[in-house]
Amino acid sequence: MSILSLEFLAFAVGAVLLYYCLPLKIRWVVLLAGSAAYMALAGWQSIAHISAVALVMWGGGLALQRKKSRLLLALLLIPDLGAMIFLKYWPALSGAAMILPLGLSYFTFQSAGYLIDVYRGKMQAQKNPLKAWLFIGYFPQLAQGPISTWKELGSQLLTGHRFEPENTVSGFTLLLWGYFKKLVIADRLAKTTDALINGSGLPGWFVLGGVILYTIRLYLDFSGGMDVVRGLSRMLGIELPENFRRPFFARSVSEYWRRWHITLGAWFRSYLLYPLTTCRAGIGLGKFASGAFGKKTGRTFPSALATLVVFLLIGVWHTANWNAVVYGAYFGLVMGVSMLLEPLWKTMRTTLNLPREGWMAPLRLIRTWGLILLAQYFAFTLNPEMGFSLLRSTFQAWDFSGFAVRTAAVMEPLEWIIAGIGCLFVLIVDILCEKKTDVCGRLAKAHFYIRWPALLFLILAIVSFGIYGSGYDGAAFLYTQF
């Protein structure tokens, strides 16, 4: 059941109404029943797999709480993460078809994080297996995350929330905003990506523009889905972690990744990056690098190498092909080299008296987005050869004589206008949010004559200009497959 479908909306409305009709102490049961029904509708494979993972997580957590054993933790994590790796990558290696459980990566990472946190003593293991199941099976986040910790989500799910009109309106607004970004803009821009993949002999300006539009589409697609998920949860009184924080305002690649898929980055930092840098091998590598390259480089070298490993894994997590390896390795090298050269950059800035802001700010922005856009050539293409081919094409045939014909072949002028106006609305809202303005919260508290016209405008825009209907794949969020 796609979160874009009318069936899902009816399902969600029913869950919200039933949730607030029952006593506070048993409201978590509504979430449990709704989540189980949602998984069952996705297929018996989904509910069977997540139930097995939840059972291992629950029993393993209790065992780790009684006795902290690295061996036991490893024995619990190997089948948990191993099953995800097998299901995601065996079809690509063998050519065999396989049905993936809904939300496979998200509930696997969440269950693994739970076990590690119990082992580290950061939390008490949950004694009720049904409550443990709900933590990883909470239905709004199964579609595309976020990846939450027990501290962030567990207590919220189990504590009954009272009905608050402002929370409900704020959540409904956020939900509509997510549908607007996905249906009105992102799915409309999908035609530009198709034109790049299926086209040949394309002029450089067309390729560069298409890659930029793909980046915008990816942001609106994923963040739109997250807004739907967070909006529905807010209507239930549950606040999910933010997964996007306006990445287009980033002034460095590292800042971009702190703003992009935040919970995935946080999971890898907490459960992989930090352990790699603080283990015996990491400390030994740091000592070796200090002797070979100096203390400053030695202190940074383990973190730089661990960053490369983490980004390689993040790349491969996206999909099982060589483009994912190129994508991950590229960002890992950019981040790692940047960390190693940071002392040199500081010395240069001090020596040349270069400001951090002022006239340097737009140059930093151009540098950052030049580096980010290079990676996007391998994010949507089918293989590295296609990515490099499009990259070469970017620097060739900058002839604008066929501009009108080429753009019209992709989308009609009205479609471009709708997409452009939609992007302008998103930019304005993102600027307001960047200035710490809670747009949904403000709207929820606004006067009736301001609040409801705004909501009606979003509804009418989605109904009138959304891309759906015959042949539309409602499950086609770009990140649903992960």
- Shared domain for 171 and 240, answered yes or no, is yes
- Shared domain for 29 and 151, answered yes or no, is yes
Domain boundary among 141, 158, 175: 158
Is 471 among the domain residues? no
- Shared domain for 154 and 11, answered yes or no, is yes
User: What integer best gives the mean pLDDT of the chain?
Assistant: 89
Domain boundary among 350, 380, 410: 380
Q: Taking Cα atoms as reference points, which of 166, 154, 146 lies closest to residue 227?
A: 146
- Shared domain for 200 and 286, answered yes or no, is no
Is 1 among the domain residues? no
Number of structural domains found in the chain: 3
Query: What are the tokens at 102?
Result: 């809904």
Cβ neighbours of residue 263 closer than 8 Å, sequence gap 6 or more: 145, 146, 147, 148, 241, 243
- Shared domain for 400 and 368, answered yes or no, is no
pTM reported for the whole predicted model: 0.89
3-state secondary structure of 77: helix
C-alpha to C-alpha distance for 440 and 398, rounded to whole angstroms: 43
- Shared domain for 61 and 123, answered yes or no, is yes
pLDDT at 467: 83
Please check whether residue 41 is in contact with residue 7, taking contact to mean a CB–CB distance below 8 angstroms: no
Among the listed ranges 67-81, 107-121, 208-222, 393-407, which one has the minimum average pLDDT value?
A: 393-407
- Shared domain for 299 and 373, answered yes or no, is yes
Is 481 among the domain residues? no
pLDDT at 478: 55
pLDDT at 292: 74
pLDDT at 477: 52
Residue 475's alpha-carbon distances to 35, 132, 225, in angstroms, are: 18, 27, 11
- Say which residue the tokens 């869950």 belong to: 15
pLDDT at 471: 44
Average pLDDT over residues 331-355: 83
Please check whether residue 210 is in contact with residue 195, taking contact to mean a CB–CB distance below 8 angstroms: yes
Q: Which residue has the higher pLDDT, 256 or 363?
A: 256
- Shared domain for 10 and 136, answered yes or no, is yes
- Residue 326 pLDDT > 50, yes or no? yes
Helix locations, 96-252, DSSP H? 104-120, 129-137, 139-142, 155-158, 165-179, 187-198, 204-235
Is 477 among the domain residues? no
- Shared domain for 190 and 306, answered yes or no, is no
**Which of 2-6, 283-287, 412-416, 471-475 is predicted most confidently?**
412-416
Is 410 among the domain residues? yes
- Shared domain for 93 and 47, answered yes or no, is yes
Cβ neighbours of residue 10 closer than 8 Å, sequence gap 6 or more: none
Q: pLDDT tens digits for 173-183?
A: 999 999 999 99
Is 437 among the domain residues? yes
pLDDT at 365: 86
Is 258 among the domain residues? yes
Is 480 among the domain residues? no
Would you please indicate which residues are annotated as catalytic (active-site) residues? 318
- Its domain, for residue 425, covers 165-244+394-465
Domain boundary among 380, 413, 445: 380
- Residue 449 pLDDT > 80, yes or no? yes
pLDDT at 251: 87
Stated as kind and residue range, the H or E segment containing 421 is helix 413-434
- Shared domain for 63 and 107, answered yes or no, is yes
- Shared domain for 134 and 189, answered yes or no, is no
